Amino acid sequence: MLDVANLEVVYNDVVLVLRGLSLSVPDGQIVALLGANGAGKTTTLRAITGLLDVHEGDITKGTIELQGNRIDGKKPSAIVGVGIAQVMEGRRVFSEMSVDDNLRTGSITSPSSTDSRAAYDRVMELFPVLQSRRKDSAGFLSGGEQQMLAIGRALMADPKLLILDEPSLGLAPMLVQQIRGIIVDINRQGTSVLLIEQNANMALSIADYGYIMETGKVVMDGDPRKLLKDEDVQEFYLGLHGEGDRKSFRDVKHYKRRKRWLS
């Protein structure tokens, strides 16, 4: 479905953020991309969705393909048109617009009213709570409801690949589990998912494959179950082993960094 190969991204012609990043999302699967703040996860999303220009960023090396066709360098609207939709970090709903109007903005690329109606029905089936809030202003929804609305808006474009940027951010544990279940349901309905997260436990529990980023490159990847059992992942992403306040793989260099992180 998605293939990112040897990607380098530079901001303002100076700051190298992605350093030869490679990852893939097979058709019909959930792939988790994990990393601490500053690892380059959001830059990866911007590169895939064509939003680097807004942030003075450029792809200087590498390629991005969707189903074998190059999409790097295309405009964001064209990338949506070929089948990629995203849910940005922080939800970013149109707070003064109704739930229904927010959803309609997501269907602007839909080729027909019939397709839009089918997508709308799918969203209401996935998020029944939105059915009763259809005429309410999005700004009056709870944080969890706004996240559901943001995901629903992206699904209105009937994407082949859905990219989710930190969907669990700022949500209570119960809501995180609810969003987790929704992502699984979306994938079961045939939509591939790239899940960008800091919540390793949630992401790896539903992913078919996982990547861990640090300083703009993948430092580890593999079967999610094996990643969850890895001592470094447990320490730095799940808070196990009680090794103080270290939050990032980068901090390992201050005591005894394992050789594999230097490769």
pLDDT digits (tens, 9 = 90+) for 193-217: 999 988 888 899 999 999 998 889 9
- pLDDT for the residue 105: 87
Contact 10, 58 (CB under 8 A): yes
Question: Is residue 241 scored above 80 in pLDDT?
Answer: no
- pLDDT for the residue 231: 82
Query: What are the distances in angstroms from CA 201 to CA 65, 183, 240?
Result: 29, 14, 12
**H helices of 14-156, where?**
41-49, 76-81, 99-105, 113-126, 128-131, 143-155
Contact 109, 81 (CB under 8 A): yes
Q: List, in order of start, the domains of the chain with CATH numbers.
A: 2-26+35-83+192-262 (3.40.50.300)
Question: Is residue 244 scored above 70 in pLDDT?
Answer: no
- pLDDT for the residue 24: 96
Min mean pLDDT across 26-30, 71-75, 106-110, 223-227 is at 106-110
Please state, in angstroms and rounded to a whole number, the distance separating the CA atoms of residues 196 and 46. Answer: 12
- Helices 143-155 and 173-188, axial angle in degrees (round to 10): 10
Contact 196, 119 (CB under 8 A): no
Could you report the per-residue pLDDT of 14-71, keeping only the tens digit for each?
A: 898 899 999 999 999 999 999 888 888 989 999 999 999 888 889 999 999 999 999 9
- pLDDT for the residue 66: 95
Name residue, tokens 């960023």: 57
Please state, in angstroms and rounded to a whole number, the distance separating the CA atoms of residues 21 and 212. Answer: 11
- pLDDT for the residue 215: 86
The length of the chain, given as a count of residues: 263
- pLDDT for the residue 172: 84
Question: Is residue 249 scored above 60 in pLDDT?
Answer: no
Q: What are phi and psi of 17, to 5 degrees?
A: -105, -50
